[in-house]
């Protein structure tokens, strides 16, 4: 019998993964530093929620051994602003934490480990990968991270590949494109939530004004689809690679996303200025071929799909707009 450990399984992406495992008849172990139940309250009776820290190697070893864990999905991380503010802590959580998980997984013969990574590993797009062509970045694109977070993700990805080569463990990293789902605003303030801000302000009846960047194109994916991709990677019979993009493989603009919000939320008052420069944003498209070919993962790229999923999840969890 399989036993799943979802690290960060009560988080902004992880709660979707936890819920999908529950829907498949599993009872996952959900671990995080906070053990905050707010995003998994609808399935709290069908999972096990515990507090834990990936930097505690002994604890990781104990949890995996005690609960007979066979599959691990690791979504815990220190995010960009916090990692840049405290690089040592960022590397401890994002790199040392990965090492602790994989060391224990090797020791206890865990069947499969999937480590969450990010488009931040690639850094800012260069040449044909940027405007106006937006050539999709494949997993073989050389990374040029420009944040401590991105550096830590590259290191974690390479560490995962090393464990796979050296110890023969079935492990891989998955790099997400721009992620969209409820919780970013309430848990991280105004950071990382441009798309969510459009949706939640519109639900609250507040106007949205974005001065520039409406023509920039970015590979944007719904968090529920990311969870499907991670589960597909957990379950595929064979991992042919140690790194996969989890993405739509195409790009949408902020203006196109705003149009979708208007169609889904009547009366949404949104204005988006033109141009291709968005401060603090990384407008890239990730090649989705490898995940599609290796474990059949595809994601709906339409902005309506993302907006509807976002709104439906807020209703499911009884969340109010956090704006």
Summarised one tens digit per residue, pLDDT across range 63-91 is 999 999 999 999 999 999 999 999 999 99
pLDDT tens, 25-56?
A: 999 999 999 999 999 999 999 999 999 999 99
Cα–Cα distance for residue pair 18/125, rounded to 1 Å: 33
Is 139 inside any structural domain? yes
Residue 174 in any domain: the answer is yes
Per-residue model confidence as pLDDT tens digits over 222-280:
999 999 999 999 999 999 999 999 999 999 999 999 999 999 999 999 999 999 887 66
Size (the chain), residues: 323
pLDDT in tens, 178-192: 999 999 888 876 566
- SS3 at position 61: helix
Q: How far apart, in whole angstroms, are the C-alpha atoms of residue 133 and residue 143?
A: 19
Residue 12 lies in a domain: yes
CB 142 within 8 A of CB 223: no
DSSP 284-296: --B--HHHHHHH-
Residue 90 inside a domain? The answer is yes
Local confidence band at 293 (pLDDT 50, 70, 90 cut-offs)? very high
The verdict on residue 321 lying in a domain is no
Phi, psi of 42 (to 5 degrees): -75, -15
The DSSP-derived string for 204-258 is: TT--EEE-S-TT-EE-EEEHHHHHHHHHHHHHSS----SEEEES-SS-EEHHHHH
pTM (2 d.p.): 0.96
Considering its fold, how many domains does the chain have in total? 1
Q: If you write DSSP's letter for every residue of 184-207 in order, what string do you get?
A: HHHHHTTTT-HHHHHHHHHHTT--
Three-class DSSP labels, 30-49: EEECCCCCCCCHHHHHHCEE
CATH assignment at residue 57: 3.40.50.720
What residue numbers bound the domain in which 67 lies? 4-181+221-250+282-302
User: What is the chain's mean pLDDT, rounded?
Assistant: 95
Contact present, 244 and 294 (Cβ < 8 Å): yes
**Run of H or E including 260:** helix 254-264
Chain center to CA of 22: 19
Indicate whether 14 belongs to any domain. yes
Instruction: Compute the radius of gyration of the chain from its Cα atoms.
Output: 19
Does residue 259 sit within a domain?
Answer: no
Say if 269 falls within a structural domain.
Answer: no
pLDDT at position 192 is 62
């Amino acid at each position: 019998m399989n036993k799943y450990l979802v690290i960060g399984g009560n988080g902004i992406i992880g709660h979707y993964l936890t819920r999908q495992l529950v829907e498949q008849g599993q009872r996952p172990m959900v671990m995080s530093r906070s053990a905050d139940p707010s995003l998994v309250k609808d399935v709290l009776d069908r999972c096990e929620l515990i507090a834990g820290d990936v930097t505690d190697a002994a604890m990781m070893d104990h949890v995996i051994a005690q609960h007979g864990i066979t599959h691990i999905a690791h979504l815990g991380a220190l995010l960009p602003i916090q990692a840049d503010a405290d690089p040592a802590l960022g590397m401890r959580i994002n790199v040392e934490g990965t090492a602790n998980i994989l060391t224990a997984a090797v020791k206890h013969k865990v069947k499969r480990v999937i480590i969450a990574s990010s488009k931040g590993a690639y850094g800012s797009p260069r040449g044909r990968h940027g405007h106006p062509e937006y050539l999709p970045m494949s997993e073989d694109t050389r990374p040029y991270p420009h944040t401590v977070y991105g550096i830590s993700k590259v290191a974690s990805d390479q560490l995962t590949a090393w464990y796979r080569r050296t110890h023969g463990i079935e492990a891989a990293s998955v790099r997400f494109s721009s992620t969209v789902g409820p919780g970013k605003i309430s848990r991280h303030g105004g950071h990382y939530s441009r798309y969510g801000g459009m949706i939640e302000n519109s639900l609250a009846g507040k106007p949205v004004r974005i001065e520039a960047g409406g023509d920039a194109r970015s590979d944007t994916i719904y968090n529920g689809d990311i969870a499907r991709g991670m589960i597909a990677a957990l379950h595929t019979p064979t991992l042919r690679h140690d790194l996969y993009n989890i993405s739509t493989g195409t790009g949408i603009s902020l203006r196109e996303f705003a149009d979708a919000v208007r169609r889904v939320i009547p009366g949404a008052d949104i204005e988006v200025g033109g141009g291709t420069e968005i401060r603090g944003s990384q407008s890239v498209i990730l090649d989705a071929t490898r995940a599609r070919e290796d474990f059949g993962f595809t994601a709906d790229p339409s902005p309506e799909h993302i907006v509807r999923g976002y709104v439906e999840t807020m209703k499911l969890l009884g969340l109010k707009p956090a704006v």
